[in-house]
Amino acid sequence: MSEKPRIGISCGDLNGVGMELVLRVLSDPRILHSMTPIVYAPQRAVSLYRKILGIQDWNLFAIETPQQAPARKACLVNLSTDELEIVPGQPNPQLARFTRLSLERAVADLKSGALDALVTAPINKAGIQGDGFQVPGHTEYLQKEFPTAKAMMILIGEHMKVATVTGHIALKDVPSALTQARVADAIRRFARILTQDFAITRPRIAVLSLNPHAGDAGLLGDEEQKIIIPAIQSMPSEGVLAWGPYGSDGFFGTARYAQFDGVLGMYHDQVLTPFKALCFDSGVNFTAGLPIVRTSPDHGTAYELAGQKKADPSSFRSALYAAVDILRTRREQLALESGALKVGSA
């Protein structure tokens, strides 16, 4: 990229740790070497958390649109001039409108091309529900905003990348949501994402079982024999490298994930629990498969830490840098593919 990308940052829950992490990370001038960050938040919230953090000689540069952002400034699109009653650590449904507005404004600018990527601060998924946001989380919201693509939640850590076939659904609904076609599609899309966004030429994917011990040959369930194994076996004909199914406990307990470029689980907690145990401080949530790049820290609002200067900013910092890296890699890969197509058609 010839110019530093403009990275939009939604404020998340104003009573959680999001805003203080945003300010702690952006007040370090080194972040400006690779991006121009643009925060969508009320000025009052910024002022409050600057005071809490004791930041005196630095502030966000006020702009009205991303196009006005100077290349060497961390910027703010002010969402409100109202007085706000923000009590860190205390959920406040009255402030949820700013959480929604921040996301809406940032996504609108992302769609128009005014932003290059989006990083979202943590939200209270229950508290944010309302006009314009009636979905389980960011992934589903972005899927609704970009309906022609198919979103996939990927967690990025230093030593592993994990994804799931199903998303934010109740555990009791997982078995009925699994089909051979859906598992095969998830393997296929995961492989494509690992190539497009991480430049892994022939990614090796491990597929986890649904049942304990991979079903024990049908003793503990038949989803492996009827759904997962046939899906894996259909991949070689498409040039996709996939192995499994592996029981989750032994797979992560023996660090077998180190042998693969990606790990695909059947449901949310199956891969997010071990991932967070191993990568919590620096893990990144990436909404893949969409025409835009969105990342977030791999943690929630952490009300118990809000306003105490105790929350670790590492995951949020990693999310910012991951957005830039993925954006750069995707553009390079698409340019390479475009060049290959032109040569092939000549």
Please write the tens of the pLDDT for every residue from 302-329. 999 999 999 999 999 999 999 999 999 9
Contacts of 333 (CB under 8 A, 6+ apart): 195, 196, 197, 199
**Stretch 54-75: mean pLDDT:** 95
Least confident residue range of 8-17, 122-131, 259-268: 122-131
What token pair was written down for 55?
């930041």
Please write the tens of the pLDDT for every residue from 38-50. 999 999 999 999 9
Domain-terminating residue out of 233, 258, 281: 281
Q: Is residue 80 predicted with pLDDT exceeding 80?
A: yes
User: How far is 346 from 330, CA to CA, in rounded Å?
Assistant: 24
**Stretch 106-111: mean pLDDT:** 97
Together in a domain, 305 and 256: no
Together in a domain, 5 and 68: yes
Q: Give me the CATH number covering residue 215.
A: 3.40.718.10
Q: What percent of the chain has pLDDT over 90?
A: 82
Backbone angles phi, psi at 316, to 5 degrees: -65, -40
User: How far is 209 from 24, CA to CA, in rounded Å?
Assistant: 41
Together in a domain, 162 and 13: no
Q: Is residue 57 predicted with pLDDT exceeding 80?
A: yes
The identity of residue 90, as a single letter, is Q
User: How far is 46 from 272, CA to CA, in rounded Å?
Assistant: 31
Together in a domain, 100 and 163: no
**Stretch 151-169: mean pLDDT:** 94
Q: Is residue 344 predicted with pLDDT exceeding 70?
A: no
Together in a domain, 202 and 222: yes
* pTM more than 0.95: no
Domain that holds residue 119: 1-149+285-346
Average pLDDT, the chain: 93
Please write the tens of the pLDDT for every residue from 12-44. 999 999 999 999 999 999 999 999 999 999 999
Q: Is residue 2 predicted with pLDDT exceeding 80?
A: no
User: How far is 92 from 127, CA to CA, in rounded Å?
Assistant: 8
Together in a domain, 256 and 308: no
CA-closest candidate to residue 195, choices 343, 330, 339, 319:
330
CA-closest candidate to residue 124, choices 211, 37, 198, 14:
14
Together in a domain, 200 and 117: no
The total number of structural domains in the chain stands at: 2
Confidence category of residue 7, pLDDT binned at 50, 70, 90:
very high
- Residue 128 has what pLDDT? 78
- Residue 132 has what pLDDT? 67
